[in-house]
Structure 1
């Protein structure tokens, strides 16, 4: 059985193209993600990590190359199709949680499911199951301001997984947390990846966390190479 969830092939991206100040941030990037694996993406600031994540997550388009999700080439699809694919197949987690402040933890996880056509009852059950999995179920009725930083980020993970995506993309998901909390939150993230059977591409500066993932890749000079 094919367990490839995402295939990136020959991605290139240049900013300020055709000007004296043009910068080629991606130079023929190839990457294959498999179900159930977590891949660390390490690189200095400005190397193109966010650009790569945005292209993989259908928030941006490459100059050349292709993005396939579960064997479907999604390169060049229209905005409506890309939005639907992104909502169903890709989950995002950022350095800051970006939870909706006026809604509770469980509501923040329920809303994306309702937008995807899930019934309210099923959406709430899924939300509570995810919150229970990361140990935040007792705080389900609290708004983000009443949660700790670690709790907020765990809720953000749950929201990203609300619609059962194939791929999770995370950009410095523990970057705003102290080391102890970051470690706890990372454990919760990895448990979700394993139990949900999705792929995760996680950009991080934390080499200790990167070492705990299945593979480490470095974006260097616009190309990906393995890190031993």
Structure 2
């Protein structure tokens, strides 16, 4: 069995701690995503899946428990170390693409690479390759406003993979698309994940999409259980 690319152990998170409306969102949750594995995370709204993804991606810290990516324990590290790790190890995709409207598709994928110290020519080559892989290479010079919702989300996928992360985290990545477009766009995402060999944890309400992944887990009363 391949090693765990993402390992959450005993992760707990409570909001409004100590108040009357205290909410324990995660309760000693544990989860492993192996290298090269696609895992679907299924849960109703408000169950804590976004919180779990933010903790897994080092955007938030748990009250207790450990978060390991690629075998490295990032629990308790400084904000600077966590920021560097996010930039190099983790790619994020959200329900809404959040592309920069004043830049082209290619430029939206180049910019995070420049921020990571990649030379412009190399960044442009990688951006063009990623766009070609998801079937919209011809749209490289278009700004988001001139692209369809499905095309914009494909650009967002490419941007998430711009710095060649080892872990992809996606929160309802096709939730804002119609069923037909959702199916096509998710297929593009699966192609990217399989071709690059990275690990992926993808939160979705769509059980058909979840079934196409390697494994399904769900959140139940703050804990991760088999789907």
TM-score bracket for this pair, using the shorter chain length: over 0.9
Q: How many angstroms apart in 2 are the aligned matches of 1:198 and 1:60?
A: 22
The match for 1:147 is: 147
Q: CA deviation at 1:3?
A: 3.4
The match for 1:45 is: 45
Q: CA deviation at 1:2?
A: 5.1
After superposition, the C-alpha distances for 1:70-107 in whole angstroms (9 at most, x for unaligned) are 11100111111111000000000000000000000000
Which aligned runs of 4 or more in structure 1 are off by greater than 6 angstroms?
A: none
Root-mean-square deviation (CA, aligned residues, Å) is: 0.9
Check whether the contact 2:2–2:35 (CA below 8 A) recurs between aligned residues.
Answer: no
| 2:166 aligned with 1:156 | no
Q: How do residues 132-211 of structure 1 correspond to structure 2 at under 5 angstroms?
A: 132-211=132-211
The alignment partner of 2:62 has SS state of coil
Q: How do residues 1-228 of structure 1 correspond to structure 2 at under 5 angstroms?
A: 3-227=3-227
Q: How many angstroms apart in 2 are the aligned matches of 1:208 and 1:221?
A: 23
The alignment partner of 2:27 has SS state of strand
Q: CA deviation at 1:35?
A: 1.8
The alignment partner of 1:157 has SS state of helix
Q: How many angstroms apart in 1 are the aligned matches of 2:194 and 2:36?
A: 5
The alignment partner of 2:8 has SS state of strand
Q: CA deviation at 1:139?
A: 0.3
> Structure 1 length normalisation: TM-score?
0.98
Q: Point out where structure 2 has 5 or more consecutive residues left out of the alignment.
A: none
Q: How many angstroms apart in 1 are the aligned matches of 2:225 and 2:28?
A: 12
Q: CA deviation at 1:34?
A: 1.3
Q: How many angstroms apart in 2 are the aligned matches of 1:38 and 1:72?
A: 20
Q: How many angstroms apart in 1 are the aligned matches of 2:87 and 2:171?
A: 18
Q: CA deviation at 1:114?
A: 0.5
Question: In structure 2, do the counterparts of structure 1 residues 169 and 15 end up closer, same or farther at CA, with 3 Å as the change threshold?
Answer: same
Instruction: Pick which of 174-183 and 2-11 moved more.
Output: 2-11
Q: How many angstroms apart in 2 are the aligned matches of 1:37 and 1:144?
A: 31
Q: CA deviation at 1:4?
A: 2.1
Q: CA deviation at 1:5?
A: 1.2
Instruction: Pick which of 44-53 and 27-36 moved more.
Output: 27-36
Q: How many angstroms apart in 2 are the aligned matches of 1:160 and 1:120?
A: 17
> Structure 2 length normalisation: TM-score?
0.98
